[in-house]
Structure 1
Amino acid sequence: MTISLERPARRRYEPQLPVFGPTIVTNEPEPGEEERHAVLTLRIAVDRDMLAALLDISCYDYPDPDSWSVEFIRESVELRLSLDGAYEAWRDSRRFSELLDDPSVRDRIQAEYRAVDRAYPKTA
């Protein structure tokens, strides 16, 4: 039996979707800290629910999502994604839209979806 350690070729995901970011570099060194070795730029395909869940987790204590700037929204989403990773973002988003059925948070969730739509228009 032969075991191959080669990874199968991965197909490149080149969707006909708009590409955003990065708008920030996370984990920049503080004064006196050792310099970083590299800056990685990742391309992660996300859906609208993932964006809304990332935004909600990142900004749950900030009032009035309708007043947030596009820059603030994108930075918040990117920061949260860099901290949590794509899998956790996907997991958190799986039932996020169901929060629209909860009258106690419906207005907030709708406002967060509007914020996502402003910052990440599908036809950019």
Structure 2
Amino acid sequence: MSIHTLYDGTRIPLPPMPEPMPAAEVSGATDPGYDIRAVLTLPVAVTRDMLAVALDDACSGYEEHPDSWSVEFIRESVELQFAMSGFLRLQESENLLVEFLEYEPPGPCRDRVQAEYRAIDRAYPKGR
């Protein structure tokens, strides 16, 4: 069971969480010459929609179709986008693609977003 500690030291249980995914790669101060102090592992609970927004933001410039992307590429892209954008920005945008799919007529843009969701489902299967 996960526990969250409040500012006053009170500890409250969190709802059950899936097992954390192992990190796909290390980002940040990875270039030679940095005096690396620590490598942080930050478990962040996210929704399918937040994962899709991160993938869409990270890979919107790629011409290759999302159905051709490897699981490793998807996970690295999502993690890097989370590291750059932060949890709160992606949480604020989590309904962005849901609303897009609701109002966008059939066509290439809608097909690509649906393929991005399929990519998320491959890289982050439910119930893992």
TM-score (norm 1): 0.85
- Is 1:69 the counterpart of 2:50? The answer is no
Consecutive unaligned residues in structure 2, runs of 5 or more: 1-5
- Structure 1 runs of 4+ aligned residues shifted over 4 Å read none
Question: Is the CA contact 1:66–1:114 (under 8 Å) kept in the aligned structure 2?
Answer: yes
Q: Distance in 1 between matches of 2:81 and 2:24?
A: 13
Find the counterpart in structure 2 of residue 3 from structure 1. none
Identify if the C-alpha distance between structure 1 residues 10 and 55 changes in structure 2 by more than 3 Å, giving closer, same or farther.
farther
Is the radius of gyration larger for structure 1 or structure 2?
1
Q: Distance in 2 between matches of 1:10 and 1:89?
A: 27
Q: Distance in 2 between matches of 1:58 and 1:10?
A: 36
Partner-residue secondary structure (3-state), 1:11:
strand
Find the counterpart in structure 1 of residue 99 from structure 2. 98
Q: Which moved more, 1:50-59 or 1:22-31?
A: 22-31
Question: Is the CA contact 1:53–1:89 (under 8 Å) kept in the aligned structure 2?
Answer: yes
Q: How does 1:70-85 map to 2 (within 5 A)?
A: 70-85=71-86
What's the offset of the Cα at 1:36? 1.3
Residue type of the partner of 1:123? G
Question: Is the CA contact 1:52–1:112 (under 8 Å) kept in the aligned structure 2?
Answer: yes
- Is 1:108 the counterpart of 2:109? The answer is no
RMSD: 1.8
Aligned length: 118
Question: Is the CA contact 1:29–1:35 (under 8 Å) kept in the aligned structure 2?
Answer: no
Find the counterpart in structure 1 of residue 34 from structure 2. 34
TM-score (norm 2): 0.83
